[in-house]
């Protein structure tokens, strides 16, 4: 019995030895790689900061005894003496009047469509061309993710398709549609606003208020110190939004400011008056062109500086910004962006060290030389020279993970 147990132990040991040898041979002969395609990328030297947004803005008070409805959409311009809002006795009256305006807009749309089809019986080719153009415009707006443009181009495409249907004789009874809308318009027309709120200034309307409109005096925006900016940012978090007192505001100047506190050593390559780009971290894709007003040339010994930047671009989104996480882009660099672990140091035939990456061509590994032009915690940006014989080439398969990499070695 003991002999059988010893034999079994020997067999198991032999099997384990052969399994280990097989695994080692397989590991040597079959190396697994992870690769990444070499593409040109742009990265930015940047300064991260929390910025206070200062605008020249005036709140518009709401009448608590009445229902107040804006006459304008966010971002609309208004002149002195213009109607900025309507007042109603009840929510029901406000809704009825809103329905009335919608019916008027729809009626105008169909009447305009009817007038466009008169005398166009033989012009199908022209309308077909318009449809093609409208489809292309709609696709472009979808690709750019521009909601306003998508809606406008969708409506325009719908117009063209309806006109084509009418020209070729398809049954589109516009007369009945228009008559029905006129009846609805008449039934709703009895409800009117009780009054209007007018503005004594010109500006851009925004329905967004946050209670911080008077936090910083606009005329002193360029005089803010490090302490002033820090205190103002703290107060933004403390102030409670009092939307019951206001139904909106007017932004009365196109010029507004980003104000932030940054370490002085981060602005050594900047100058007052210089233009830079600012990316909004919480709004992917939004990049603003701004001009540095002050703070880029701090006094010797100052650890922090009050960096103040201005812009003259104004829209509904900018009108609602207050405390923003921003990325100040001080320079842009173009090259091949790869994970840090893809960078290697190898020696040439003369024993000289050179930096670069390994690439996989078919089943052969090649070393490509490259200079590091920018590095971050997770990636490096490598130089790209299309004329370099030994440099990285576009669409190379850069090895980001692999063992025993060696220039010229063939792996299976």
Mean pLDDT across 120-125: 59
Give strand pairing partners of 366. Answer: 359
Contact, 54 vs 257, CB < 8 A?
A: yes
Q: Are strands 323-339 and 40-54 parallel, antiparallel or unpaired?
A: antiparallel
C-alpha–C-alpha distance, residues 142 and 136, integer Å: 10
Distance CA 393, CA 150 (A): 39
Q: What is the pLDDT of residue 142?
A: 80
* Residue 291 pLDDT greater than 90, yes or no: yes
- In tens, the pLDDT along 141-150 reads 787 777 667 8
User: Beta strand pairing status for 372-375 and 379-382?
Assistant: antiparallel
CA separation for the pair 155, 158 (Å, rounded)? 5
Closest CA to 363 of 28, 33, 22: 33
Mean pLDDT of the chain: 85
Q: What is the pLDDT of residue 187?
A: 87
The mean pLDDT of 157-181, rounded to a whole number, is: 72
Instruction: Tell me which H or E stretch contains 50.
Output: strand 40-54
CB 227 within 8 A of CB 30: no
Q: Please give the pLDDT value at position 343.
A: 93
Q: Is the pLDDT of residue 166 over 70?
A: no
> Quick one: fold of 34-41+335-401?
2.40.420
Phi-psi region of 36 (alpha: psi -120 to 50; beta: other; left: phi over 0): beta
Average pLDDT over residues 372-389: 92
Which CATH topology does 47-59+218-332 take? Elongation Factor Tu (Ef-tu); domain 3 (2.40.30)
Tokens 């990285």 belong to: 392
pLDDT band at 20 (very low <50, low <70, confident <90, very high): low
Question: 51 and 326 in contact (C-beta within 8 Å)?
Answer: yes
Q: Whole-prediction pTM value?
A: 0.71
Distance CA 359, CA 395 (A): 10
Domain ranges of the chain: 1-28, 34-41+335-401, 47-59+218-332, 90-188
Please count the other Cβ atoms lying within 10 Å of the Cβ belonging to residue 385: 14
Beta-carbon count within 10 A of 93 CB: 19
Is 116 a residue whose pLDDT tops 70? no
Tens digits of residue pLDDT in 227-265:
999 999 999 988 765 555 788 999 999 999 999 999 999
């Amino acid at each position: 019995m003991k002999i059988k147990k010893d034999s079994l132990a020997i067999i198991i040991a032999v099997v384990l030895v052969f399994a280990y040898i097989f695994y080692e041979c397989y590991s040597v002969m079959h190396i697994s790689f992870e690769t990444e395609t070499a593409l040109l990328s742009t990265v930015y030297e940047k300064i991260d900061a929390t910025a206070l947004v200062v605008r020249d803005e005036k709140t518009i008070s709401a009448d608590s005894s009445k229902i107040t409805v804006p006459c304008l959409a966010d971002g609309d311009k208004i002149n002195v003496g213009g109607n900025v809002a309507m007042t109603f006795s009840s929510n029901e009256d406000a809704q009825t009047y809103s329905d009335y305006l919608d019916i008027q807009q729809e009626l105008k749309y169909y009447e305009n469509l009817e007038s466009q089809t008169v005398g166009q019986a033989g012009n199908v080719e022209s309308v077909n061309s318009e449809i093609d153009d409208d489809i292309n415009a709609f696709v472009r707006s979808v690709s750019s993710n521009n909601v306003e443009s998508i809606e406008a181009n969708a409506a325009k495409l719908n117009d063209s398709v309806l006109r084509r249907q009418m020209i070729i004789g398809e049954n589109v009874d516009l007369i009945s549609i228009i008559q029905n809308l006129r009846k609805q318009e008449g039934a709703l027309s009895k409800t009117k606003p009780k009054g209007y709120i007018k503005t004594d200034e010109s500006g851009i309307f925004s329905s967004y208020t946050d209670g911080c409109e008077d936090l910083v005096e606009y005329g002193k925006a360029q005089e803010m110190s490090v302490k002033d900016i820090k205190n103002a940012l703290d107060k933004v978090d403390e102030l409670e939004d009092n939307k019951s007192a206001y139904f909106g505001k007017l932004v009365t100047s196109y010029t507004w400011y980003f104000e932030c506190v940054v370490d002085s050593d981060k602005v050594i390559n900047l100058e007052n008056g210089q233009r830079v780009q600012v990316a909004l971290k919480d709004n992917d894709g939004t990049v603003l062109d701004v001009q540095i007003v002050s703070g880029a040339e701090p006094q010797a010994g100052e650890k922090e500086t009050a960096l103040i930047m201005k812009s003259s671009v104004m829209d509904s989104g900018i009108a609602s910004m207050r405390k923003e996480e921003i990325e100040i882009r001080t320079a842009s660099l173009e090259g091949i962006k790869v994970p840090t672990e893809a960078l290697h140091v190898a020696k040439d035939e003369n024993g000289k060290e050179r930096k670069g990456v390994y690439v996989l061509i078919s089943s052969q590994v090649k070393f490509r030389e490259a200079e590091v032009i920018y590095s971050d915690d997770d990636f490096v940006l490598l130089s790209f020279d299309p004329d370099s014989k030994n440099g990285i080439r576009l669409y190379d398969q850069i090895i980001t993970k692999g063992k025993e990499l060696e220039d010229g070695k063939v792996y299976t």
